[in-house]
């Protein structure tokens, strides 16, 4: 027997309704904010992520599923959704369309990480991207959208932390300050941090190596280096969130793990998610399109990990919907009645009722047991006498009472009883 690859999971029929619940809430919330769905390929040219997500990030440096296709091209399974959406936005000429452009996605993404609870190699994201609005209101609306999505799911114990990581102009000064701070400690820091020191010292701040974390904690904070415009932008984002009644804390340690971010960044975390506490993360990324050689366009977005949302929903004991059950099980007692049960089930399904009937030649007792397992609300029994009378004996499994119902009235009867 060949096993499932490490870091991947099957989503089985018994659990899929929980996924569908999250997906439904995602779609409804997104549409309320004016977003429409976008679907892009699972794989892209490797270069897109190298340039978009950034060479010095863990995602690009260590975690990508990259391979040569049969034509010798280097392709990569998407490690996230933003770069592909940005490419599609430019490639389909949408930059010239109505602004702002808003798109959401429900995708699987791939990162070669060390698997643990809430950290997989194939995982799923709900994400959203907004292009063409540089205003603080665009960032604030995006954060309100993320917050509404989590609240609509029923989550109550998530906390929002926000920060500003400035623009390339003010970050230059910050990089110098970081270098000055880290220079005396370089010999004790990991080889990755030493490489990041030259190329992108801000990446040193999200190093996961314990020895390095001791130094990053005391590093200078970007908030102290913001230029006037970035400071004002962030101030307005915070003021809008205050007025909208969104609870948050400003946390200067949030830098995000991908290179494209600028200005506002944010994360929603939950204690219930354990070590992998971030359930949703995002921010502005005004520089990404220019980096892809397209016309510069302001952008902001977020993505949430669906596996982590499920973990947190379950840990919080949030009310998840039940799987949909069978409306009516049709039990036939003899060959002629079984055939009638089969045909009646087809008729009832055409009327929009969820029905099942026997496919295994089971005894009546076994059929009732099976109907019970399905959670069928009604069992319609047909034997020789019922067949002759053109009726079924319909048992309400909630009340254990039963009634005779003529075959042609069965659909109407079940529909009327369903909501009682
Ligand atoms: P990210 O922070 O890398 O951002 O991922 C977003 C969310 O995806 C995380 O908060 C987490 O819930 C989930 N996630 C990430 N990696 C894994 C994993 N290995 N296993 C399970 N869940 C995971 C992005 O991906 C950005 N593209 C978000 C964004 C959109 N920023 C702007 N627009």
Question: Residue with the nearest Cα to atom 6 of ligand 1?
Answer: 303
Does the pLDDT at position 279 exceed 90?
Answer: yes
Q: pLDDT for 149-206, tens place per residue? A: 999 999 999 999 999 999 999 999 999 999 999 999 999 999 989 998 988 899 898 8
Nearest atom, ligand 1, residue 79 CA: 25
Q: Residue 356, by phi and psi: left (phi above 0), alpha (psi -120 to 50) or beta?
A: beta
pLDDT of residue 165: 95
Pocket test for ligand 1, best of 114, 272, 308 (most atoms within 8 A of CB): 308
Does the pLDDT at position 277 exceed 90?
Answer: no
Neighbours of 232 (CB within 10 A): 12
Instruction: Judge if the beta carbon of residue 286 lies within 6 A of ligand 1.
Output: no
Find, among 252, 261, 270, the residue nearest to 301 by Cα: 261
Does the pLDDT at position 273 exceed 80?
Answer: no
% of the chain with per-residue pLDDT over 70: 99
Instruction: Judge if the beta carbon of residue 115 lies within 6 A of ligand 1.
Output: no
Nearest atom, ligand 1, residue 63 CA: 19
pLDDT of residue 167: 95
Q: How many angstroms separate the CA atoms of 415 and 405, rounded?
A: 13
Structural domains in the chain, CATH included, are 16-167+227-316 (3.30.930.10), 328-418 (3.40.50.800)
Question: Residue with the nearest Cα to atom 22 of ligand 1?
Answer: 305
Q: How many angstroms separate the CA atoms of 203 and 195, rounded?
A: 10
Q: How much is the average pLDDT of 322-330?
A: 92
* Ligand 1: centre distance to CA 297 (Å): 22
pLDDT of residue 209: 87
pLDDT range class, residue 296, cuts 50, 70, 90: very high
% of the chain with per-residue pLDDT over 90: 86
pLDDT of residue 71: 97
Instruction: Judge if the beta carbon of residue 338 lies within 6 A of ligand 1.
Output: no
Lowest mean pLDDT among 20-24, 58-62, 351-355: 58-62
pLDDT range class, residue 258, cuts 50, 70, 90: confident
Question: Residue with the nearest Cα to atom 10 of ligand 1?
Answer: 280
The mean pLDDT value of the chain amounts to 95
* Ligand 1: centre distance to CA 378 (Å): 44
Does the pLDDT at position 389 exceed 80?
Answer: yes
Instruction: Judge if the beta carbon of residue 303 lies within 6 A of ligand 1.
Output: yes
pLDDT range class, residue 257, cuts 50, 70, 90: confident
CB 69 within 8 A of CB 75: yes
> Which tokens go with 51?
């340039």
Stronger pLDDT, 101 or 320, i.e. the higher one: 101
Instruction: Judge if the beta carbon of residue 370 lies within 6 A of ligand 1.
Output: no
Q: How many angstroms separate the CA atoms of 340 and 332, rounded?
A: 8
pLDDT of residue 289: 95
Does the pLDDT at position 276 exceed 80?
Answer: no
pLDDT of residue 56: 83
Would you call 330 helix, strand, or coil by DSSP?
A: strand
pLDDT range class, residue 418, cuts 50, 70, 90: confident
Does the pLDDT at position 274 exceed 80?
Answer: no
Q: Where are the beta strands (DSSP E) in 261-319?
A: 262-270, 278-284, 299-305
* Ligand 1: centre distance to CA 141 (Å): 19
Helix H or strand E segment including 129:
strand 122-131
Q: Where are the beta strands (DSSP E) in 6-96?
A: 36-37, 43-45, 65-68, 74-77
Instruction: Judge if the beta carbon of residue 58 lies within 6 A of ligand 1.
Output: no
Q: How much is the average pLDDT of 106-127?
A: 96
Instruction: Judge if the beta carbon of residue 395 lies within 6 A of ligand 1.
Output: no
Q: How much is the average pLDDT of 14-30?
A: 97
Instruction: Judge if the beta carbon of residue 111 lies within 6 A of ligand 1.
Output: yes
Instruction: Judge if the beta carbon of residue 81 lies within 6 A of ligand 1.
Output: yes
* Ligand 1: centre distance to CA 112 (Å): 13
Largest CA-CA distance found in the chain, in angstroms, rounded: 94
* Ligand 1: centre distance to CA 383 (Å): 57
* Ligand 1: centre distance to CA 377 (Å): 41
CB 123 within 8 A of CB 306: yes
């Amino acid at each position: 027997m060949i096993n499932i690859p490490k870091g991947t999971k099957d989503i089985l029929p018994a659990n899929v309704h929980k996924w569908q619940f999250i997906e439904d809430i995602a779609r409804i919330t997104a549409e309320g904010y004016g977003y429409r769905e976008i679907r892009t390929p699972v794989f892209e040219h490797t270069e897109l992520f190298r340039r978009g997500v950034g060479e010095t990030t863990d995602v690009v440096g260590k975690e990508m599923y990259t391979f040569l296709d049969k034509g010798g091209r280097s392709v990569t399974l998407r490690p996230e959704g933003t770069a592909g959406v940005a490419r599609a936005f430019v490639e389909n000429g949408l930059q010239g369309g109505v602004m702002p452009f808003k798109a959401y996605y429900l995708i699987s993404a791939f990162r070669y990480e060390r698997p643990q609870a809430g950290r997989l190699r194939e995982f799923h994201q709900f994400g959203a991207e907004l292009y063409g609005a540089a205003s603080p209101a665009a960032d604030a609306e995006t954060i309100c959208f993320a917050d509404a999505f989590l609240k609509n799911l029923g989550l109550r114990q998530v906390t929002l932390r926000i920060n500003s990581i400035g623009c390339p102009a003010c970050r230059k000064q910050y990089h110098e300050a970081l270098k000055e701070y880290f220079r005396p400690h370089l010999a004790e820091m990991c080889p990755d941090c030493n490489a990041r020191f030259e190329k992108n010292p801000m990446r040193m701040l999200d190093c996961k190596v314990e020895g390095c974390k001791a130094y990053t904690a005391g590093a200078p904070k970007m908030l102290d280096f913001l230029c006037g415009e970035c400071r004002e932008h962030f101030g307005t984002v915070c003021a809008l969130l205050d007025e909208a009644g969104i609870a948050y804390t400003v946390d200067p340690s949030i830098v995000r793990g991908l290179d494209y971010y600028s200005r506002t960044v944010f994360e929603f975390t939950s204690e219930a998610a354990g070590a992998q506490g971030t359930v949703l993360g995002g921010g502005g990324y005004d520089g990404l399109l220019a980096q892809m050689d397209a016309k510069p366009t302001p952008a902001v977005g977020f993505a949430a990990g669906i596996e982590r949302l499920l973990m947190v929903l379950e840990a919080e004991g949030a009310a998840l919907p039940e799987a949909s059950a069978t409306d009516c099980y049709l039990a036939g007692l003899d060959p002629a009645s079984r055939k009638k049960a089969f045909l009646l089930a087809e008729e009832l399904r055409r009327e929009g009722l969820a029905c099942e009937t026997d496919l295994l030649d089971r005894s009546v007792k076994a059929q009732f047991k099976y109907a019970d397992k399905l959670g069928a609300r009604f069992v319609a029994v047909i034997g020789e006498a019922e067949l002759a009378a053109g009726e079924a004996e319909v048992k309400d499994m909630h009340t254990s009472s039963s009634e005779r119902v003529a075959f042609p009235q069965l659909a109407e009867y079940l529909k009327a009883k369903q909501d009682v």
